[in-house]
Amino acid sequence: MAQISPERPYDHDLAERAIEYLHTGRTLLFPFAARFDDAQHAAFDRDLREGLGDLLDSGSARKTSATGNLMSGRRLREIVNEWRAAGGGWPEGADPDAIDTALAALDDADADDEAELASALIDDDVSHYRR
């Protein structure tokens, strides 16, 4: 059955705004970003890149294109909505100063410390063979 006016699978305008924001940093594109500090700008940029990556990945898989579901902008919309709802602050669970955080990525400065901690936690009879 053919659709006469199929719903757009993703918000192309939102994707273009996200790309332009990442290139220019113009807060006019996302007005809530005008009150961000440097850490928030970096986190929002990282989140937008993740959302755009999900958008591209959703359209590149053969299994989705074969069934006609080409792309999904759901994650990008969620990211923008979470930051918008925070009103210039950190989205819930994203504040790096909070004890309980949902941040997915570590800053490069913390990566070495985390790697040392992870290797120190490995303590079994064969751990010396893994290094």
Q: What is the pLDDT of residues 28-74, one digit of tens each?
A: 999 999 999 999 999 999 999 998 888 777 655 555 555 555 566 78
Identity of residue 4: I
Task: Indicate whether 16 pLDDT > 80.
Answer: yes
Report residue 119's pLDDT band, with 50, 70 and 90 as the boundaries.
low
The tokens describing 108, both together, are 């490069």
Residue 106: the pLDDT is 47
Predicted model pTM: 0.63
Domain range summary for the chain, segments of one domain joined by +: 12-124
Q: Contact at 8 Å (CB) between 40 and 90?
A: yes
Farthest-apart Cα atoms in the chain, separation: 65
Q: Is residue 1's pLDDT more than 90?
A: no
Sequence-ordered strand ranges (E) for the chain: none
Instruction: Report the distance separating Cα 102 and Cα 106, nearest Å.
Output: 11
> What would the mean pLDDT of 91-116 be, rounded to a whole number?
62
